[in-house]
Structure 1
């Protein structure tokens, strides 16, 4: 799998490239700013890009802006945004701007090679990845009455794991439920949230957005 990395911190970028290479990925290009990343992708689109959320010149949200541009111009390229801090509003913006092949992960997760490589593969395959810490913070907000209030405790458990971008199989393993039981809970969640029958992938994304917005 081919990936590109954009981060203005040279040591972090080189270290990330090294661990990904050792894990079997091909690091096709590295960039120190968003403009260079977009140019690399335009010339030779990879399977996925990993981009820091704050880069030159303003160190605000250049990485997020680049992610939006990539979602528009290269929808087949997965985008994993890395952040040094839990910033839920940025995670929501990213997900809403591209409801598939997108992810938001804290930089501290890079230390867990398995979690990092899993996230890269999932966004490259069109999946959705949200850091568990971001999910927890969003879920902890005070809410007014919402469709989520109709869910049982177990249905909320299932939806919380789904919000991390996990498959039914992964939910089954995390919550120690049978695959058929998970399928039943997922169908019930869709029904209670008023998501009409259609492509399950789309309904999963809509369910997750409902959950994260509260």
Structure 2
């Protein structure tokens, strides 16, 4: 059978991928089977790099949140409704397996489940996922960092909507009224001592109009 030879660019050979790359050259038969395999490999590489970009954007978001808290403390400026800070990524990565996950759809799902203080819960999802870009959001459909009490691992949900329901049944069922941010703090929802301050920054900043 007649063969055609395709050479890979050198840069691809130096990058560690989740896909094992062939050698210096790939021989592709004219029946197209190897060409299809090459296309699948390229698609997997694109997905890998897009997910990596989203992960970097999530880490950048977390650093911005930490800096915002430090900035408020240095300037002794209380977080109030007059506060405004652009903490959104400004970019939506292409790697988003949940095309139906948006701010609007999440708000609707929170309200559908009868969750109290929906805006604060929305801010929690944004803080936990970095605008839906965290690995746990992508691989576990987990919007709130919910962990299994028996082993400390993240809950894995079939759909992101299931994590919203789980927030109500695993977290908010304990709520008996009162200031919700203080309740989250007393509950020990997060290990970060600045967790509720970061929620306020989001609530009075990029989520102010929701």
**Normalized against structure 1, the TM-score is what?**
0.26
- Give the structure with higher Rg (CA): 2
Q: Which has the higher helix share?
A: 1
**Normalized against structure 2, the TM-score is what?**
0.27
